[in-house]
Chains A and B, each alone.
Chain A
Amino acid sequence: MLSAEGLAKSFGESRVVDDVALTVQAGTIVAVIGPNGAGKTTLLNLLSGFLRADAGSIGFDGRAITAMPSYRRCRAGLGRTFQQPSFFPALTPLENVQVPLLTMARKHRRMLGRARTALVGEAREILAEVGLGEAGDEPASALSYGDQRRLEIGIALGTRPRVLLLDEPMAGMSAAERRALSELMRDLRAGQGLTLVFTEHDMDVVFSLADVVHVLHQGRRLASGTPAEIRADPEVRRVYLGQEAA
């Protein structure tokens, strides 16, 4: 579904992502873990097109997307969220979700007609799906932090993705919110067959949610496997899990 080969990215002298290869099977939940500075976010940025890779190639759904601009990757079905919830603060939650829906329906160029009534049904469905069914007409900036994260996922879902990249989706959320979000991610996979790739620090979340875990260390892929395999991997324990415990 999504694959990378020899991906590399440097910022100045430091190689943040160094020759990373990765394959994501359709319908799986994949976690990318690693200590701070391991290159997790940069990897997601390369996959989503937010950054251009210095070297390597990216394939999505059977075609090369290495040179494809980010908005086109998004239209092709590769959605993403950011560490800091990224949404449209002054727009209502409904409008936030209408934007990608209108874009995907190729209606965003229309200079006549009413945005207010465009694709409202679909937008409300998505809001309900991410647990914002009750959201009103207040600007999205008035939402709680957890709800802003949900809204961002809603925007990403509005692009009708087949693969959704989530950069630390649980960051800054309470235990209850984390559980709810894990549930939502499972539902998305089960209901829509969505493929999910996420980075995360919370090992409980990673091991309970992911089918496959990739461990990054200093820009390189250190190990890949099922949660059980990763947990048992001595090298991983040494550089990462041990650190957590200490």
Chain B
Amino acid sequence: MSRRLSPALVLPVVVLVLALLAPNALNVTQVLLLAQAFIYAAFALSLFLLLADGGIVSFGHAAFLAAGAYGVAVATTKWNIPIGLAFLLAPVICAVLAAIIGWLSVRLTALYFAMLTLAFGQFVYSVIARVGYFGGESGLTGIPSGIVGIDPDRFYYAGLVVLAVVFVVIHLVRRAPFGLALRATRENATRADFAGLSVPRVRLAAFILSGALGGLAGALLAVTNGTVSPDLGFWTQSGTVLVMILIGGMTSMWGPIIGAIALTYGQKYIAEATPEYWQMVLGAALIGLVLFLPGGVAGGVEAAYRRLAPKPHRRAPTGEPVAER
């Protein structure tokens, strides 16, 4: 059976090629800004799985950004673990942390889940901000950068690699049986239970994966910055990543990426130009999006594409679906 070229297949390839070539055409400021945006896009994507497929809202996702970053910082500066190994250790640490937080949270109703994840997030924040071992308010410095070095282009490509890894992992998981089971728990937890699924366990697995991938983004943040500070884990960080997903939209995996890039650029240019109006602009943009484009930017683009493009065949005559959703 020949596979037709679907937008779902072509788009990532085109975007990837453009992203690979982009540093040649951009100045250092842009390259560094995009490098940062990629990290946040990876971070937003890690939460997207929980939000879009799991239908559960965590308000403490910053805990994993911080834990990943501090994991690398502590492992390299305190335990003398080589940076490469430390980088791989970070998501493992985050998975363990997520297992603990998740085990205590996933059984709760949506509201209490949100509150408890927020509380855990703040707990992690206060630990890194107050405990001397973690450097207190000033954080930790002197994190080796390993192969990433201090070259902006390498920062950029490192961000792209992490983003691509997170993108592929989440894509695979979403289309796998587990992804379907996760969406089933989102759609109807009672029916999922009476389909034989242990809803808390499915959610816990998603929470752990989400935390581990978020930790990967945090680890790279530590490497590219060379320092870590407690504000990585502050609750506003958890809010920011939710805003990124809201702006970009939850209808596809491009949403969080668009949202992360948009917010990173907004913070850089609008916030620097008019610091006093930035929050207002952001607020107005959010209100506008939620009211008029609930699917976010990606959802809007998708809807426009569907309206403009000729109707694609949804199914081959055999009933075998052609296009990936």
Report A's interface with B, CB cutoff 8 A: 48, 50, 69-71, 74-75, 79-80, 82, 86-91, 95, 98-100, 102-104, 107-116, 118, 136-137, 152, 155-156, 158-159
Given contacts A88-B184, A89-B188, contact A110 B177 (CB under 8 A): yes
Sampled A-B contacts (8; CB under 8 Å):
A50-B194, A88-B188, A98-B180, A99-B181, A99-B197, A110-B177, A114-B175, A155-B195
Q: Does B22 contact A (CB under 8 A)?
A: no
Contact of A88 among B173, B191, B196, B198 (CB under 8 A): B191
User: Are A100 and B195 within 8 A (Cβ)?
Assistant: yes
Residue on B nearest A105 in the bound complex, by CB? B177
User: Are A88 and B183 within 8 A (Cβ)?
Assistant: yes
Contact with A along B189-205 (1 / 0, CB 8 A): 01111111111001001
A242-B195 Cα distance, complex, nearest whole Å: 39
With a cutoff of 8 Å between Cβ atoms, the chain B residues found around residue A102 in the complex are 177, 180-181
With a cutoff of 8 Å between Cβ atoms, the chain A residues found around residue B192 in the complex are 88, 99
With a cutoff of 8 Å between Cβ atoms, the chain A residues found around residue B180 in the complex are 91, 95, 98-99, 102, 108, 115
Q: Does B187 contact A (CB under 8 A)?
A: yes
With a cutoff of 8 Å between Cβ atoms, the chain B residues found around residue A90 in the complex are 183, 187
With both chains docked as a complex, state the minimum distance between the C-beta of B192 and any C-beta of chain A, in angstroms: 7
A48-B321 Cα distance, complex, nearest whole Å: 36
User: Are B176 and A115 within 8 A (Cβ)?
Assistant: yes
User: Are B197 and A108 within 8 A (Cβ)?
Assistant: yes
Residue on B nearest A71 in the bound complex, by CB? B193
Q: Does B314 contact A (CB under 8 A)?
A: yes
With a cutoff of 8 Å between Cβ atoms, the chain B residues found around residue A156 in the complex are 194
Residue on B nearest A97 in the bound complex, by CB? B195
User: Are B194 and A48 within 8 A (Cβ)?
Assistant: yes
Residue on B nearest A79 in the bound complex, by CB? B194
Interface size class of B (residues with CB under 8 A): 20 to 34
With a cutoff of 8 Å between Cβ atoms, the chain A residues found around residue B193 in the complex are 70-71, 74
Residue on A nearest B201 in the bound complex, by CB? A109
User: Are A109 and B195 within 8 A (Cβ)?
Assistant: no
Given contacts A88-B188, A108-B202, contact A103 B194 (CB under 8 A): no
Contact of A112 among B176, B184, B199 (CB under 8 A): B176
Q: Does B179 contact A (CB under 8 A)?
A: yes
With a cutoff of 8 Å between Cβ atoms, the chain B residues found around residue A111 in the complex are 172-173, 176, 178, 209
A232-B137 Cα distance, complex, nearest whole Å: 82
User: Are B195 and A115 within 8 A (Cβ)?
Assistant: no
Report B's interface with A, CB cutoff 8 A: 172-173, 175-181, 183-184, 187-188, 190-199, 202, 205, 209, 314-315, 321
A109-B204 Cα distance, complex, nearest whole Å: 12
User: Are A103 and B188 within 8 A (Cβ)?
Assistant: no
User: Are B188 and A113 within 8 A (Cβ)?
Assistant: no
User: Are B197 and A71 within 8 A (Cβ)?
Assistant: yes
Given contacts A109-B178, A115-B179, contact A155 B191 (CB under 8 A): yes
The 7 A-B residue pairs whose C-beta atoms are closest, nearest first, are A88-B187, A100-B195, A115-B180, A103-B196, A108-B181, A75-B196, A99-B184
User: Are B195 and A74 within 8 A (Cβ)?
Assistant: yes
Residue on B nearest A90 in the bound complex, by CB? B187
Given contacts A103-B195, A108-B202, A159-B195, contact A118 B177 (CB under 8 A): yes
User: Are B184 and A86 within 8 A (Cβ)?
Assistant: no
With a cutoff of 8 Å between Cβ atoms, the chain A residues found around residue B205 in the complex are 109
Given contacts A111-B178, A113-B176, contact A104 B188 (CB under 8 A): no
A22-B177 Cα distance, complex, nearest whole Å: 38
A82-B183 Cα distance, complex, nearest whole Å: 20
A86-B191 Cα distance, complex, nearest whole Å: 6
Contact of A71 among B179, B196, B321 (CB under 8 A): B196
With a cutoff of 8 Å between Cβ atoms, the chain B residues found around residue A50 in the complex are 190, 194
User: Are A71 and B315 within 8 A (Cβ)?
Assistant: no
Contact of A86 among B181, B194, B315 (CB under 8 A): B194
Given contacts A91-B183, A137-B314, contact A110 B195 (CB under 8 A): no
Given contacts A86-B190, A111-B176, contact A91 B184 (CB under 8 A): yes
With a cutoff of 8 Å between Cβ atoms, the chain B residues found around residue A118 in the complex are 177
User: Are B194 and A137 within 8 A (Cβ)?
Assistant: no
Residue on A nearest B321 in the bound complex, by CB? A116
Residue on B nearest A155 in the bound complex, by CB? B195
User: Are B195 and A107 within 8 A (Cβ)?
Assistant: no
User: Are A107 and B177 within 8 A (Cβ)?
Assistant: yes
With both chains docked as a complex, state the minimum distance between the C-beta of A165 and any C-beta of chain B, in angstroms: 10
With both chains docked as a complex, state the minimum distance between the C-beta of B237 and any C-beta of chain A, in angstroms: 27
With a cutoff of 8 Å between Cβ atoms, the chain B residues found around residue A113 in the complex are 176-177
A48-B175 Cα distance, complex, nearest whole Å: 31
Beyond A82-B190, A91-B187, 13 extra complex contacts between A and B, CB < 8 Å: A71-B196, A71-B199, A88-B183, A88-B188, A88-B192, A104-B196, A108-B181, A108-B197, A110-B177, A112-B176, A155-B191, A156-B194, A159-B194
- Which residue, A79, A116, A156, has most C-beta atoms of chain B within 10 A? A116
Contact of A87 among B178, B188, B314, B321 (CB under 8 A): B188
